[in-house]
Amino acid sequence: MVSECPLVDEYTIGCICALQEEYDAAFRMLDEEFENPGTSQLRDPNTYGFGRIGEHLVAVACLFPSGHYGTYVYAQAARDMDRTFPNLRFILSVGIGGGAPTSARDIRLGDVVVSVPNNGHCGLVSYGIFSSEKDPSTQLETDEGQYAHPQELLATIPELQRLQDDPLEPDTIAEHIRRMNNMPGFQRPNTDRLYRVDYGHRGGRSCEFCSDDGLVKRSKRLGSREIFIHYGTIASGNTVVKDPFLRDKWANTSKLNVLCFEMEASGMMPTFPSLAIRGICDYSDDHKNDDWHNYAALTAAAYTRALLLLLKPKVIGAVPSRRLILDLHDYMHDV
C-alpha cells in the first residue's frame, strides 16, 4: 500500500538499478511504499520508486525505461539523483553481474558479490576490452580509480558477515528472498552449469546442445545457507565479458582477484560514495543466458535489505550529506 510521501530532503539513501528485474526485486524489499514527492518538477528524468527499509527512507531509481545502459548513463543517473535529494548520504548500486569462480573461490549462480576494499585495493576497478593489429586477441585493461566506499556501510558488513557465517543464527537473507515467493519468474532455477574454459557454447538459448562432459566437477556445498556472500573486487566497464579465458586471467591475477564483472558501478563511484552489490547470473563466458537474471537480482536486493536493517539511523545521521560536503568544499575554495 502506498502511504503519504515524505519530502525529497528526508531521503538519506539512494539505490540505482539498471534493469527492470533489478528494480522489481529492490522495490519488493521495501517495508512501506511512498508516493512520488514531485521529482519530475525538479527536472529529474530518472524513474523512481520510494519507500522505507527499517528506519531508512530509500529512493530507488531504474535506468530501464531509457533503454540506455553503461557507466556513462549510470553516472548521469547518479548526478540527477544527487541533485534531487540533497540529504543523501550514499547511493547503492544494486543488480546482477557475471561471476569469476576459481579453485580458491567457489562462486556460484545466485551468490552475491560485494565490492569491498581488500589487499590494498579499493574493491572496484574499471575495465576496457580491446584488440589491436599487433595482438588480435581480446585484451582487458583495468584502471583502479579513486572509488569511494562509505565507511559506515563497510563498518556494518562484519556484523552481517558474522550472522551469515554462524549456523545458529537465522538466515536473514533467505528470509528476505521469501518476500518474493509470490512473484512469478523470481524462483531459484534448478540448473547451475559451469563449463570448462576449453568447452565453448554449442548452441541453444539455455545450453540444451551443450554436453555434460564439458562441465566442471564441483562438490555439493556444505551448510544450510541458500546463497553465499563474497567480498572483494568487482570489475566494471561498458562491454559485456563473455570470454572464460579473459575471465580467468583477471580472476587469478593476485593484484586484483576479480570476483565479478558488471557494466554500471564505476560510472557512479568516482563522484559519490557507493557500494556495488551484484547477484551472480552467469559465469562471464559464452554460455551466458538470462535464466538466472531474476533470481540473481533478488539475492542482491535481499542482501541490500539485510545490510540496511543493520545500519543504525544514528550512524546515518552523523554522516554529512553530499550537499553539505560540496558546500564546505566551495566555501574552503573561496576562502
- CATH number reported for the structural domain that contains residue 59 in this entry: 3.40.50.1580
143-168: buried (b, 16+ CB within 10 Å) or exposed (e) per residue? Answer: eeeebbbbebbeebbeebeebbeeee
Residue 32 falls within a domain, yes or no? yes
Instruction: Report the DSSP pairing between strands 90-99 and 112-115.
Output: unpaired
How far, in Å, CA of 88 to CA of 323, rounded? Answer: 8
Q: Give the total number of structural domains in the chain.
A: 1
Residue 136 falls within a domain, yes or no? no
How far, in Å, CA of 260 to CA of 147, rounded? Answer: 16
Pick from 275, 326, 293: nearest CA to 15: 275
Task: List the pLDDT tens digit at each of the 335 positions of the chain.
Answer: 566 689 999 999 999 999 999 999 999 999 999 999 888 778 888 899 999 999 999 999 998 666 566 788 888 999 999 999 999 998 999 999 999 999 999 999 999 999 998 877 778 888 887 655 555 555 566 666 667 788 899 999 999 999 999 989 999 899 999 888 788 899 999 999 999 999 889 887 888 888 889 999 999 888 778 899 999 999 998 888 999 999 999 899 877 889 999 998 887 766 778 899 999 999 999 999 999 999 999 999 999 999 999 999 877 765 655 554 444 444 344 44
Instruction: Report the DSSP pairing between strands 258-262 and 56-62.
Output: unpaired
Count of Cβ atoms closer than 10 Å to residue 4 Cβ: 7
Encode pLDDT of 144-179 as tens digits.
666 778 889 999 999 999 999 998 999 989 999 988
> For residue 175, what are the domain limits?
13-130+160-189+224-330
Residue 152 falls within a domain, yes or no? no
Is-contact 165 230, C-beta < 8 A? no
Residue 8 falls within a domain, yes or no? no
Residue 151 falls within a domain, yes or no? no
pLDDT of residue 314: 72
Is-contact 265 123, C-beta < 8 A? no
Give the distance from CA 326 to its chain's centroid: 26
Residue 215 falls within a domain, yes or no? no
pTM of the model: 0.90
Residue 137 falls within a domain, yes or no? no
pLDDT of residue 333: 41
Residue 203 falls within a domain, yes or no? no
pLDDT of residue 42: 81
